[in-house]
Amino acid sequence: MGKGDKKTRRGKIILGSYGVRRPRKKNNKPEIKPVKVILSKEPKEKKPVKEKKEPKEVIAVKEIIKVKEVKEVKEIKEAKEVKPAVKSKEIKPAKEKAEAKPAKTVKEKKEPKEEKESKPKKEKKS
């Protein structure tokens, strides 16, 4: 019985499983403690809220957009060279089949053997 055996204690330790051969340890649960009465707490003093700063006024800035004139360039497409069409291969006519093989000779059927008569059964002695 070794480390890989699921039924032995050593195998269960290695595999990290529990069972009848290796039960789990019981935790010692502490006794239930009585709940202490919580005294009412005095509310804490809240800090004063900070004053909000007024946002600065935004100065309007005029945007000057300069428009540049762009000359339109027309692309000249070059004519593609046309390759001559590839000649298709000539189709060869299918070969004619050779002469048909002669049919196989039919085997002669043998007549079934005659059945032998069975021997008479022996009678039991009583």
- pLDDT for residue 15: 92
What are the distances in angstroms from CA 88 to CA 83, 85, 93, 95?
Answer: 15, 9, 15, 20
Distance CA 110, CA 116 (A): 18
What are 70-103's pLDDT values in tens digits? 777 777 777 777 777 766 777 777 777 667 777 7
- pLDDT for residue 117: 81
For residue 40, give both structure tokens.
């009412």
> Considering only CA atoms, which of 18, 20, 17, 21 is closest in space to residue 9?
21
What are 10-62's pLDDT values in tens digits? 999 999 999 888 899 888 877 787 777 776 777 778 888 888 888 777 777 77
11 contacts 4 by C-beta, under 8 angstroms: yes
- pLDDT for residue 126: 63
Residues sharing a CB contact under 8 Å with residue 24, sequence separation 6 or more, in sequence order: 18
**Buried residues in 47-70 as b, exposed as e (16+ CB within 10 A):** eeeeeeeeeeeeeeeeeeeeeeee
Total length of the chain: 126
Distance CA 3, CA 9 (A): 9
pTM for this entry = 0.23
- pLDDT for residue 26: 84
Selected residue with higher pLDDT from 122 and 43: 122
- pLDDT for residue 12: 92
